[in-house]
Structure 1
Amino acid sequence: MTEQTVSKIEIKRINLSEANLVVSLFNQYRIFYGKFSDLGMAKAFIDARLENNESVIFVAMEADKPVGFTQLYPTYSSARLSKNWILNDLFVDSDYRKHGIGEELIKTAMSFAKGQGSTFVQLETATDNLTAQRLYETIGFKKQEPDNEFFLYRINVI
């Protein structure tokens, strides 16, 4: 593929009426992790998360084109008495990688979590996804002990 020249990227939180912006990217994300392609199921899943306020989704837009997204799920800490966030999904279209979009999506998620009074953001990635691991560690995430096929990363946002 040819190197894309990326113009200004806008990152915004989406609501249910904007769910279609991330359905194709979410489907590509699932394919990246070895799952089957199904746009209908991808749409239903995203719609349900947003309709039930079960996740927060940020999309990276270049002009009117969605080029990446991240999806956060809440988790709660009784000991910390706080609502925290799991950065569960992060995906950037292959034509738009290596332009800092993934990093900006993560930083937006961290800023959001901090604004919510959260203690931490955590994520997991496959043990063989070295590119993602380097990005997370560059941002400041600390690798936890591996659990079979995934590494757990966490960063404090307070």
Structure 2
Amino acid sequence: MLIRYATLDDLDLIAPLFAAYRVFYEQAHDLPAARAFIAERLSLRESVILLGQDDAGAALGFIQLYPVFSSIAAERIWLLSDLFVSDAARGQGVARALMSKATQHARDSGAAWLELSTAHTNRKAQALYESLGYQLDTVYRYYSLGV
């Protein structure tokens, strides 16, 4: 298994995974929208995408990270926004390898921490995160407002 930084040249590998990720979160399957979204993030350098591939080059999964800054800590952090592993690759350690590479990226870029969220019902993801040392926030409540 290879975990590496994705580029625009990897768009056709990532877009189907990203479309499936969105379906997991109850969005309509829309490959053109997924492709356009990922292309824009990569071309504008608004995110970092880590791509997992098997020895034949097939895409196994990805993580998408967004740079964020903590005003309170006065430091950079990374938002681990998206993690997805294809159905065929689950149970092979792909998610754990992607998470390890994300942690290394955060360290290498001088970030203070990684931050993520997941659905309350996504117990498998929660178990993975907790096994890696992530802690559930008990200090802050997170809110959102659609605009």
Q: What's the TM-score, normalizing by structure 1?
A: 0.85
Q: 2: CA distance between counterparts of 1:108 and 1:128? A: 25
- For residues 40-79 of structure 1, the C-alpha deviation after alignment (integer angstroms, 9 at most, x for no partner) is 0000000000111110001100121001000001101223
Bigger fraction of residues in strand: 1
The number of equivalent residue pairs is 142
Q: What does residue 21 of structure 1 align with?
A: 13
- Partner amino acid, structure 2, of 1:135: L
| Candidates 30, 35, 60, aligned match of 2:27 | 35
- For residues 92-134 of structure 1, the C-alpha deviation after alignment (integer angstroms, 9 at most, x for no partner) is 0111111111011011001001000000001000001111100
Q: What does residue 99 of structure 1 align with?
A: 92
Structure 2, unaligned stretches of length 5 or more? none
| Structure 1 segments of 4+ aligned residues over 3 angstroms from their partners | 145-150
Q: What does residue 155 of structure 1 align with?
A: none
Structure-to-structure mapping, 1:54-93, within 5 angstroms? 54-62=46-54, 63-93=56-86
**Aligned-pair CA distance for 1:16:** 1.7
Q: 1: CA distance between counterparts of 2:140 and 2:16? A: 30
Describe the shift of the 1:42–1:143 C-alpha distance in structure 2 as closer, same or farther (beyond 3 A).
same
Q: What does residue 154 of structure 1 align with?
A: none
- Partner amino acid, structure 2, of 1:26: F
Q: What does residue 110 of structure 1 align with?
A: 103
% identity of equivalent residues = 37
**Aligned-pair CA distance for 1:20:** 1.9
Describe the shift of the 1:112–1:93 C-alpha distance in structure 2 as closer, same or farther (beyond 3 A).
same
- Give secondary structure in 2 for the equivalent of 1:125: coil
Q: CA RMSD in A?
A: 1.9
Q: 2: CA distance between counterparts of 1:71 and 1:40? A: 18
